[in-house]
């Protein structure tokens, strides 16, 4: 790592301070506007899988400053993400908003639930979500600059 730092240097303090142990108002609004995100998981051997997810704004719900609820929609039914989470709960997400250059990154531990009330709440097009991924104890990285919300 010493050689990497020799080449790259160190981040400016405002960059290093972007990491937060909770989800603040700005990041809540950013996630609420996001229509696309990637969910990254790894199996018990460390093999990584990135899963792109698209949904209307507000599909991912912030339940409290430490918990996200991520709905699952019908897809290819390989269940790679679910299988990985059952073996290794560490996940990473990056949220995108169309037309905005910044992103919000989230890392934490996830678990699965099929709670009927939550699945109904996270439904789309009058259909409940198929399953839900809850992320708890996340570590957030807020964007570098202000976004117009």
pLDDT at residue 148, as a whole number:
52
Taking only the tens of pLDDT, the chain with its 149 residues reads 999 999 999 988 877 777 778 888 888 999 999 999 999 999 999 999 999 998 889 999 998 888 899 988 877 778 899 999 999 999 999 999 999 988 999 988 998 888 888 888 888 877 778 777 777 665 556 565 555 55
Please say whether the beta carbons of 147 and 100 come within 8 A.
Answer: yes
DSSP lists the bridge partners of residue 86 as: none
pTM score of the predicted model: 0.84
**DSSP class of 48:** E
Rounded CA separation 90/100 (Å)? 27
């Amino acid at each position: 790592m010493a050689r990497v730092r020799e080449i790259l240097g160190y981040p400016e303090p405002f960059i290093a301070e972007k990491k937060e142990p909770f989800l603040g108002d700005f990041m809540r609004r950013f996630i609420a506007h996001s229509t696309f995100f990637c969910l990254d998981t790894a199996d018990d051997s460390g093999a990584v899988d990135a899963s792109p997810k698209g949904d209307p704004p507000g599909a991912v719900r912030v339940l409290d400053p430490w918990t996200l609820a991520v709905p699952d929609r019908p897809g290819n039914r390989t269940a790679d993400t679910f299988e990985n989470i059952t073996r290794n709960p560490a996940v990473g997400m990056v949220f995108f908003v169309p037309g905005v250059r910044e992103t919000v990154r989230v890392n934490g531990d996830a678990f699965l639930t099929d709670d009927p009330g939550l699945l109904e709440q996270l439904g789309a097009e009058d259909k409940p979500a198929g399953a839900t991924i809850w992320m708890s104890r996340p570590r957030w990285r807020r964007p570098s600059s202000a976004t117009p919300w």
